[in-house]
Amino acid sequence: MVILSLGQKIKRLRKDKELTLECLGEEYVSKAHLSIIENDKASPSINLLQFLANKLEVDLEFLLETEKEQAIRYCNIWIKEMEAKVKLNRTSGIDEIYNNIEKVGKDYKLSDIQGQSNLLYAQLRINAGKYDEALDYIQKSIHFSTKADNISRIIRAYNKEGYIYLHKGMYEIAVQKHKQAFMFYKTLSHEDLILKSDIFFNLSIAYHKLKDKENAIKYAEQVCEINKEINHPKRYAQSLLNCSSSYILNKNYKAAQRVLEEANLLLDKQNEYRLQSLIANNLGKVYLDYGENDKALEQLLKAKDLKEKHNTDDLPKTLFELCKFYIKNGRIEKAFEELGYAMKLSEEKNLENNKIEGLNIYIDYYAAQNRYNEAIEKLKELIDVLINLEKEDELVGAYLKLGNTLNLTNHREEAIFYFNKAYNLLK
């Protein structure tokens, strides 16, 4: 990549064609004047530029393109390459591309492009689970996007920040970030329903995690209304699925069943196997809470079959539900078979959040059976995972649970040690 001034372009093309100044200028322009132009000490008229373009066999537009326009063109090419790499989660060469954009962006004051590249790089760090690094790049994106007055990107950046805090288990901060995104959304001069839907979807998830049933339902239902309005079947089905989770949280199983069946009808036409598997998973949970064990098992096994067939990363989620089903029905050996399978997959695919859910199932079962030493062992494993993922809120709960369990086994000094750890995190 070389950015050239007008004079440099003319000089390079002339030398490539092995033309002297006299040959290039003929009788139209003097050698001396051409030399001044090539050294960028004079600007040629449009007629002279057209003459030179014809002689050098290039389009006039090529000569007229300014250095800043060249910089933007190169950066846009790099941005497209970054987008492809991020979408495919390919890291090879992306650092060099990002650094090129940063250098050119700084030299030519391309704040908008820098805002875009930093948000893309943040997504790459999110894909790798490097959330703190991602937050740094999001802040850079917000800085440059603010300078460029790109409100839509600022909204997406805050939404992405909220997503990160959601995955770090810091749900109150996630809500704050998504609300910041919506504050900026209200300043847009035009309605962007997909962007609004994304904000409300994330707010619904965050409130769901906080067990704030009212707000979880409110935002989930608004997302459904928006996605139905924009006539996007896949997004609408996804929002119905999210809405069903909020209804389940509220123990409104009839409403959950209704929206899941509606989503199923949509997806049968779309052949969306992944969403169909998620719907079957949630229907299984609904039937299990209803006490309809046969239907619950049928839906959970359907979800398992679809996810195994398409090798989806969320297969362990269904295996955990199957494990809970078998525990509830006294089939402990089968429950632990599914749980072991889920933990093995989570380990192989480095799905740390799934490990948390699996370890909690072990812990709750062992504690209910008064098998405290085994519960303690799994609690310590859980704490290691939570430390690695920087999930401080959940870590406090794990320290307290470990302290209480150690206390039950008369390991009081060690219990106090973990109580203090929880206290120090809360300070």
CA distances to 41, 163, 166, 167, 221 from 160, in Å: 48, 5, 10, 11, 21
Q: For 176-214, write each residue's pLDDT tens digit.
A: 999 999 999 999 999 999 999 999 999 999 998 898 989
**Do the domain assignments include residue 370?**
yes
Q: Which two tokens stand for residue 347?
A: 């380990």
Q: What pLDDT does 319 receive?
A: 95
Q: What pLDDT does 50 receive?
A: 93
**Do the domain assignments include residue 186?**
no
Q: How many CB atoms lie within 10 A of CB 187?
A: 9
Q: Are 300 and 322 a contacting pair, CB within 8 Å?
A: yes
**In the predicted model, what is the mean pLDDT of residues 304-309?**
89
Q: For 263-277, write each residue's pLDDT tens digit.
A: 877 766 555 677 778
Domain closes at, from 65, 84, 101: 65
Angle ∠(279,280,282) on CA atoms, nearest 5: 65
**Do the domain assignments include residue 387?**
yes
Compute the distance between CA of residue 417 and CA of residue 399 in angstroms, rounded to an integer.
Answer: 9
**Do the domain assignments include residue 282?**
no
Indicate if the pLDDT at residue 253 is higher than 90: no
Q: pTM of the full predicted structure?
A: 0.69
Q: For 114-159, write each residue's pLDDT tens digit.
A: 999 999 999 999 988 889 999 999 999 999 999 999 999 999 999 9
Q: What pLDDT does 272 receive?
A: 67
Give the CATH number, domain containing residue 34.
1.10.260.40
**Do the domain assignments include residue 361?**
no
Helix, strand counts (H, E) of the chain: 23, 0
**Do the domain assignments include residue 275?**
no
**In the predicted model, what is the mean pLDDT of residues 45-52?**
91
Q: The domain containing residue 18 runs over which residues?
A: 6-65
**Do the domain assignments include residue 54?**
yes
Residue 99, CB-side half-sphere exposure with 13 Å CA sphere: 4
Q: Are 343 and 358 a contacting pair, CB within 8 Å?
A: yes
**Do the domain assignments include residue 414?**
yes
Compute the distance between CA of residue 298 and CA of residue 311 in angstroms, rounded to an integer.
Answer: 20
Give the CATH number, domain containing residue 372.
1.25.40
Q: For 352-379, write each residue's pLDDT tens digit.
A: 888 999 999 999 999 999 999 999 999 9
Q: What pLDDT does 350 receive?
A: 83
Q: What pLDDT does 298 receive?
A: 92
What's the domain count of the chain? 2
